[in-house]
Chains A and B, each alone.
Chain A
Amino acid sequence: GENVEQHPSTLSVQEGDSAVIKCTYSDSASNYFPWYKQELGKGPQLIIDIRSNVGEKKDQRIAVTLNKTAKHFSLHITETQPEDSAVYFCAAHPPEGYNKLIFGAGTRLAVHP
């Protein structure tokens, strides 16, 4: 089955810097890759997603890139702010049945003022 690996597990940046989180997946047929932000005590919040027919998607300060050949995708956050501090999860949607998301282990991002 699908397996998703996420790096780094923790990331510390200064306010205004950029942050990049990387994920790899194992099933080349996976076709949908969302990113979630989870704050303490809350459920995961969908922040951006990308489907396998595009290579890049951008929404204000966040962007996601997908390399299908290498089977990896990345989240880019520019001009980071303290409120970006949270745990970020990548996920992949395996092709069989569209029934589930397979999540990475998460990246704890700390943005220091």
Chain B
Amino acid sequence: GAGVSQTPSNKVTEKGKYVELRCDPISGHTALYWYRQSLGQGPEFLIYFQGTGAADDSGLPNDRFFAVRPEGSVSTLKIQRTERGDSAVYLCASSLVRGGEQYFGPGTRLTVT
């Protein structure tokens, strides 16, 4: 079956611009997670959704980062006033239930110039 999909696969933007990254979870998965992976490191947790609500946003680095999941399926990660330090691969994962196995998408590589 279809896995987690993310678009775009690559995004290059200028410092100060706004970007949106999209995640389409596995159908029927209620839990959705965003992680950020810098070069040579493991993924770092950003935010977790259970259904439509952000149940844990403790990993968001600052208020320039925001995410939504309005209908409990697709999620969008939004970054305002991008900085060069935001450059990383942004990974989305979903699980059938809270605490279940997490399945990752291919990621969006964000480059801020």
> Is B42 close to A, CB under 8 A?
yes
B91-A100 in contact (CB<8A):
no
Which of these, B33, B41, B56, B106, contacts A42 with CB under 8 Å? Answer: B106
> Is B11 close to A, CB under 8 A?
no
Q: Mostly helix, strand, loop or mixed at chain B's interface? A: loop
> Is B12 close to A, CB under 8 A?
no
A43-B42 in contact (CB<8A):
no
Contacts of A101 in B (CB 8 A): 33, 43, 45, 102
- Count of B residues near A, CB < 8 Å? 22
**Size range of the chain A interface in the assembly:** 20 to 34
B103-A105 in contact (CB<8A):
no
Contacts A43-B107, A99-B55; is A106 near B102 (CB within 8 Å)? no
Binding site for A on B (CB under 8 A): 4, 33, 40-45, 48, 55-56, 59, 91, 98-99, 101-107
Binding site for B on A (CB under 8 A): 4, 6, 32, 34, 36, 41-46, 49, 89, 91, 93, 97-106
